[in-house]
Chains A and B, each alone.
Chain A
Amino acid sequence: MIRRSRLYIPGNNPKMMQSGKALNPDVILLDLEDSVPLHDKLAARLLVREAITFLQFRKEVMVRINHFPMGKEDLKEVVCEQVDSVLYPKSESSQDIEEVAELLDELESARSLSKRIDIVPVIETARGCLRCEEIALSPRVSAITFGAEDFVADIGGTRTRESLFHVKSTLAVAAAAAGIQALDTVYPFIDDEKGLKKEAEESKAMGFCGKGAIHPLQLAVIHEVFSPSAEEIAWAQKVIEALKDAEEKGRAAAQLEGRMIDTPTLKKAHRIMETYKVMT
């Protein structure tokens, strides 16, 4: 599943939902949480449900629900065949995720869905950060992400590269250990293309495979960063060929352009080629 970008669309804005259908994020993220005021929550649930079933987005549909208990009502309204994943905010423990998974089990069964909806927990607190590993290993979790603004508010800091480094690093390592995707938070400055690119490149280097977008204008930069470049693809092909040759000769390692390559390099090469294949 390719998740280079996920475009946040407020759940109470039908015009943006229609536009979102024409745009090309990897994931359409319909938001019932922070972008929807309290008095609009009920209407937004109904609207999101209608949009999901009517618009046929033809890409992954993710819904950001509210934290439980309000999120229970969100799930009851929106769970249907067209929903692929649920973004669960302020995840702080495996128990949180199990609670969501249980309700999903119940709703999927009652509605005879042919699929299993993924959960993508959002780490937004110090407690969540400390329990990242168990959250990443929880049932249905296929990716993990974090919310920068809530996190720095929780730790009493401000959003800087340094204040986010620990949570990003912890999250990326926990995701890798659990064999799931690490997804980067959003970049809040819509017109700052350079800043977005820099932050996305740093996150990619840390192991993240995608980033949230709060505006469609951010998608091109995010896709550019998180898509394998022509050089990366060429490199991955060479690695795969070199190690295949080596294997035929009974060796586990090989040399490529003066550098030793072995199993971890092959793993990285395969990951690049998998992303490339999904993209094309």
Chain B
Amino acid sequence: MIVNAAGRTLPEQIGGQKVEPFRGAFATPPRKKRLSPKLSYVKPSEDKLISLEDAVKNYVKDGMTISFHHHLRDGDYLVNQVLEMVSDLGIKDIVLASTALFPVHEPVVQHLMEGTVRRIEGSMNGPVGRACSFGRMKEIATLRDHGGRAAAVEMGDLPIDVAFIAAPTADTYGNCNGVHGKSACGPLGYSYPDSLYAKKVIAVTDNLVEYPATPMSIHQTHVDHVAEIETIGNPERIVSGTTQVTRSPTNLQIADFVIETMDALGIISKGASIQAGAGGISLSVTSQMGDLMEDRHVVGGFGLGGVTQYLVDMLHRGVIRKILDAQCFDLTAVQSLREDPDHVEINMIYSSPYNKGSVYNQLDAAFLGATEVDVDFNVNVNTHSDGLLLHGIGGHQGPAACAKVTFITVPLYRKRIPVVRDRVTTITTPGEVIDVIATEYGIAVNPRRKDILKQVEKAKIPVLTIEELKKEAYDLCGEPELPETTDDIVAAIQWRDGTVLDTVKRVVET
């Protein structure tokens, strides 16, 4: 057994692979070269059009890794369509490397049970994660954050055989974008690394247009074939999280504490750049920050998302200069990306820790959620207190690691279960990169950040220690019970550099 730098005990091997333990947020330099896929060529007279059925039949074989993006989130139809074809062809033991799966992908559970899919490498939100927790997957799942996945694809840790790219618009020669067409969902950046490194790349569209399609989010030079189908998804369902400012008084209080802390730290100032996500608290922070900057006639730098109408509003009010868009969380964001030249699409290689400068390194502040936090400031976004794996890592680790100040916004307890606790069920993001935990009872500053502690002294907010917050939670709710699990590992949680941060254990079914 190995104990990693986050204090978690890991086996020497997981799924037959030697475990590289987490050594610290920036302690593991790149140890590999970029994967070099074979060069290919297309002759002038060759046609790239293919039916989806033929693409699956010709290119997907037993044991292969196939990938998809999740820009359509809970409105994605492509994963289910392709897996049904794979299953009908009797193909087995697929590794499914979707960037994320959502409740709409519940049919994947059946494919796991029948052996069509043997493993998932990617985020699992909802029923697929639940099935994984109960040991329905033949092999052990791997979860990475967005940038970590891009790095894994580039390094060859996640070699992809066939990438299926749902394209709201594609031309006949493979140029794709997500801003036009009936299924417009915004950027296509999650698939960009796959388009560079997969052995075969199939663009699948429900809006086939004449050459050339612009803008070119995915380039013809990387696409082998284009398949036209009736529909790739329902973009209305990209709004699959909370996308309205919270009305909950306690959540609003958390947002107020974040704003006041940011103000005390001088973050609400000229050139400030923020990572803003979905979720009622985060949106309230974004909205209030926009109001304050407008009142003070301050223009910030860029907003990074998960883009919602609130970030778009900041751009259109002139309080930030640019939006760098990795994902749209609502249709206002999609429209803005299509129409506003200052709203710019980025791809996931920008998020990777292993390149010549991650976009996250430019962030002043990030405000992120959690299912649990602990007295070492470790954060869990994957599992619930019952041990069930119900969420992916998403874009949690990168901004947390790189932003000058990282806030975790959480209620002290949910449904009478403490959120702030002695030890998180799963470590998604290590405490060493978390700076401030903001709850409705006040904030706790990581003792590593003495500079922040000094600056918030005069702010009109309750500043507590993390132990005090935990005590308050335990006084109100009692000590939380530990989930009932076996020793079997069902999933490995990787840090963005590919080292193993934690494992998820199989939950006992009651």
Chain A residues packing against B (C-beta within 8 Å): 18-19, 21-24, 55, 215-217
Contact = CB atoms under 8 A, between A and B. Distances in A.
B253 interface: yes
Interface size bracket, B side: 10 to 19
Interface string B409-437: 00010000000000000000000000000
B476 A19 contact: no
A215 B476 CA distance: 22
B440 interface: yes
B249 A23 contact: yes
B134 interface: no
A196 to B, nearest CB: 15
Contacts of B476: 18, 21, 55
Interface of B: 247, 249-250, 252-253, 412, 439-441, 476
Nearest to B462: A24
B252 A19 contact: no
A215 B248 CA distance: 10
A90 B144 CA distance: 63
A204 B476 CA distance: 37
24 contacts: A18-B476, A19-B249, A19-B250, A19-B440, A21-B476, A22-B250, A22-B253, A22-B412, A22-B439, A22-B440, A22-B441, A23-B249, A23-B250, A23-B253, A23-B440, A24-B253, A55-B476, A215-B249, A216-B249, A216-B252, A216-B253, A217-B247, A217-B249, A217-B252
A22 B439 CA distance: 9
Given A18-B476, A216-B252, 7 more contacts: A22-B412, A23-B249, A23-B250, A23-B440, A55-B476, A216-B249, A217-B247
Secondary structure dominating the interface of A = helix
A52 to B, nearest CB: 14
A3 B439 CA distance: 25
A22 B410 CA distance: 13
Contacts of B440: 19, 22-23
Contacts of A22: 250, 253, 412, 439-441
A75 to B, nearest CB: 27
Contacts, number: 24
Nearest to B412: A22
Nearest to A56: B475
B484 to A, nearest CB: 27
Considering the complex of A and B, which 7 residue pairs feature the smallest CB-CB distances, nearest first?
A216-B249, A22-B440, A19-B250, A22-B441, A22-B250, A23-B249, A19-B249
A217 B249 CA distance: 6
Nearest to A220: B256
Contacts of A55: 476
A188 to B, nearest CB: 17
A7 to B, nearest CB: 9
B466 to A, nearest CB: 17
A216 B440 CA distance: 13
Contacts of B441: 22
Contacts of B249: 19, 23, 215-217
Contacts of A23: 249-250, 253, 440
A218 to B, nearest CB: 10
A55 B472 CA distance: 10
A45 B160 CA distance: 64
B127 to A, nearest CB: 29
A19 B413 CA distance: 11
A23 B250 CA distance: 7
Contacts of A18: 476
A21 B411 CA distance: 13
A18 B412 CA distance: 11
Contacts of A217: 247, 249, 252
B416 to A, nearest CB: 9
Contacts of A216: 249, 252-253
A16 to B, nearest CB: 9
Contacts of B247: 217
A19 B247 CA distance: 13
B208 to A, nearest CB: 48
The winner among A22, A23, A216 for most chain B CB atoms within 10 A is A22
